[in-house]
A and B are shown apart, each in its own frame.
Chain A
């Protein structure tokens, strides 16, 4: 056990060592800097994977304490899974950067910062005490600032790095406050001790409110800023000015910190229903806003940025519904998917530059250009029935066979509802593609859909069992996220009405050519809505205006007080 502990300690320290070696000796030697960084990162990944396998075999989670008052490491399923995921993504980004960054100035510094960033994230996800968590959480923002602003020649890079840093700092404050409340209330900085005390004394109060609710809301706020939730999202799409590998690391790993925070404090959120409801509402608004803004972008990286915002909204919404392990599964799946998209975005841009015009492609024509595709040869009623019924049956049956009890959880019902809508949307988009044999196309799509849904259901179920072996805990989270039956029914009906209305609007707008029948007022309204979206809802403009006002006051005070 001692050997494994020493091995575990080495995992987050390996990137630190690499960064120190590069800064001290290899800053000017590109090959040595890259080799050192990739080697140490590979070792860290290998170590994390071995520890995960060791846990799977032994099944024992424990805390590593080095004798100080802080700096403890928690080797539990959450941290081990995230260690493997983060070091894996970071290793891919490292290898990609070896050639990608070779013509950039500050090559050695870049690798050292990348190593430090990885180390800090590893410490953050494995922190077993509040001080380590706060320190690592804070340092992520600091190091990210320098990574995003790596190219000093471009003032825009610095400006957007600053936006990120200030939003992150805003998110640090609720975490500090929550940590101070927890430390003072439970007289410990150790997370396992605090969680044990919360379970035995869940009703403790502060200022007449339950401590779990107050700290739950504060932690949710901290998570919102890191995961670019609505009103704290403006930094995310603009961070594309940083180097592409940093965008990949950020969108695949760093931005997921919100989901991690919810999961780390899951025992607290079991008693913080209001915080979960807030997370659901904010996540839902973010998912819708991010997806809407993504659709009107004409820049691939900006579009990916808003796509991340939408996904993060969905992830936070999952937490708000009590499906905590699903959020972790989502962040890992999204991380790999988004990293590959970012790392491939350069090729897409290169291809677009090389080839004049976009090749004729049915998917591109129907999805991107929004030109009416050739009508499907499937009968209308058959296509509609398949589109609406098949996802419902497949998703329902797969969950029924995996875990029937899930149907009694409100959160799962809402998620299944979203899954059904997404599946129907996918099938609807696919059936519009022209094909020689539409039945063959539809069967192919249906088989893929069934395989994906069953695979996802099985994997997410077993993953949830791995992260939260105790059924009581996962049921407690769903219970905390539940609302009164009447409100829940009303919410589901409202969501259903919105989705059906949206579909109907899209369908009739196409078939009846509603655009041509809009009156002057209708057209003005449409343009106003488009302007609102194209200006990204004016959120960044409002912030910029407010900061200018504050700067003016600060300047005025300084002049008045003679700069003393």
Chain B
């Protein structure tokens, strides 16, 4: 029973290869709102399952080591795959899977569950916003595939700016919470683990660079489109600012 719950948790809080089911589930959900809700709720549900099953007491120390190594591999694998994703939804799924795999590492290294929950939220909130923005892009262009149509920033300045800032928040750019939770979890691991994790920010940076290249640069030659509303973009900005503010002054790493 305990191990079944553990396996279910590895689907909800994605860990390769069970993360395949998590990604499949997100793809099958209709609309941005459902995907946004799912990406916030499912990992938290996975963490609740870990709490409920008391699986932490059953994991032998050697399993913790191998589990941690597997989590690092899972995170690196998804980050590596994200560098060639050009569809915004797929890109977001792969990167949030990469980030959330590290929540397993934090949990296995003995971090309190509340800390791991905050860790997961730091990645899930920007991912949820990106799913909403993906839906907005799909409504305007018929798909959210980047690279076919360059220079979207000219046609959709507010939507592009929102995508850029949210992507930066997802990928652990200071001063967003993902950076600090990542930094804190790196700091709590034995130092020998750090070199294993070092390629991760590099791969995230690579994925971001290609994403921005496809989104921002080039001549836009398509039909005129309606940009994101002022209120919507302001709301997205507000959510990101609130997460930043809470992180810095509300008991996060910076307090």
Contact = CB atoms under 8 A, between A and B. Distances in A.
Interface of A: 68-71, 131, 134-135, 138-139, 142, 145, 149, 152-155, 157-159, 162, 165-166, 169-170, 172-173, 176-177, 180-181, 183-184, 206-207, 550-551, 553-555, 557-558, 561-564
A152 B174 contact: no
Contacts of B154: 152
A509 B205 CA distance: 49
B206 interface: yes
Contacts of A207: 192
A173 B202 contact: yes
B24 interface: yes
23 contacts: A69-B255, A70-B254, A134-B183, A138-B174, A152-B151, A152-B218, A153-B217, A158-B216, A159-B217, A162-B210, A162-B212, A165-B205, A176-B186, A183-B187, A184-B187, A206-B191, A550-B83, A551-B84, A554-B80, A554-B81, A555-B84, A557-B81, A564-B23
A69 B81 CA distance: 36
A196 to B, nearest CB: 21
Contacts of B80: 550, 553-554, 557
Contact of B187 (A165, A170, A180, A553): A180
Contact of B202 (A166, A553, A555, A563): A166
B217 A154 contact: yes
Interface string B130-171: 000000000000000000001101100000000000001000
B173 interface: yes
A557 to B, nearest CB: 5
Contact of B201 (A145, A173, A181, A553): A173
A142 B179 CA distance: 13
B215 to A, nearest CB: 9
Nearest to A120: B174
Contact of B191 (A138, A155, A184): A184
Interface in B1-51: 20, 23-24, 27
Contact of B217 (A134, A142, A157): A157
A551 B209 CA distance: 13
Contacts of A131: 183
Contacts of A555: 84
Which of B90, B194, B195, B206 has the most A CB atoms < 10 Å from its CB? B206
B175 interface: yes
Given A153-B151, A158-B212, A558-B85, A176 B198 contact: yes
A155 B187 CA distance: 38
Which 7 pairs of residues, A with B, have the shortest CB-CB distance? Answer: A158-B217, A169-B205, A564-B23, A162-B209, A135-B174, A554-B84, A155-B217
B20 A149 contact: no
Contact of B255 (A68, A149, A158): A68
A88 B241 CA distance: 31
A152 B168 contact: no
A70 B184 CA distance: 13
A563 B194 contact: no
B115 interface: no
B29 to A, nearest CB: 13
Contacts of B213: 155, 158-159, 162
Given A70-B254, A166-B209, A564-B27, A173 B198 contact: yes
Contacts of B90: 563
A206 B192 CA distance: 10
Contact of B20 (A69, A71, A170, A561): A561
Contacts of B202: 166, 169-170, 173
Contacts of A173: 198, 201-202
A166 B254 CA distance: 27
Contacts of B209: 145, 162, 165-166
A555 B254 CA distance: 38
B173 A138 contact: yes
Contacts of A154: 217
Nearest to B207: A554
Contacts of B81: 554, 557-558, 561
A511 B93 CA distance: 68
Tell me which of B174, B194, B218 has the highest count of chain A C-beta atoms within 10 A of its own C-beta: B174
Given A142-B168, A165-B205, A166-B206, A153 B218 contact: yes
